[in-house]
Amino acid sequence: MRRPVIWLVLCATTAAGGCQFVQVSDKGANVKQATSADVVNCRNVGQVVATTQARVLIKRGDVKVRQELIDLARNQAAELGANAIVPVAPHENGKQTFRAYACD
């Protein structure tokens, strides 16, 4: 009886760990990730904080978490009228801050 439960939990965990939960919005698709050097001549329009789940029963892959944070930040930055984001610091525990810029 115990094996089917363990198998079910293992399958669900694997599936959840492989999924990406965030989709880039149509507006967010126009926002690129940039470096500080890329935005020297751009206008700072604000700051966005992206947060996602770093764990879903088990720790999620770093690459997936990082990409979700970028996608979330792109969506939020688009709402501010930005077309570029620059990370302020590395992500930690599923949270990362970005500066949003409007570039010509």
The set of residues, in sequence order, having a beta carbon less than 8 Å from that of 9 and lying 6+ positions away, is: 57
What is the total count of domains within the chain? 1
pLDDT in tens, the chain (104 residues): 455 555 444 444 444 444 557 899 999 999 999 999 999 999 999 999 999 987 766 777 888 899 999 999 999 999 999 999 999 999 998 899 999 999 98
Domain span at residue 73 reads 2-102
Nearest to 50 by CA among 35, 71, 25: 71
Q: How many residues make up the chain in this entry?
A: 104
Nearest to 87 by CA among 72, 20, 55, 16: 72
Dist CA 14 CA 30 (whole Å): 32
Provide the CATH number for the domain around residue 19: 3.30.110.70
Name the region of 46 (left: φ>0; alpha: ψ -120 to 50; beta: rest): left
Pairing outcome for strands 95-102 and 84-87: antiparallel
Pairing outcome for strands 32-33 and 55-56: unpaired
pTM: 0.76
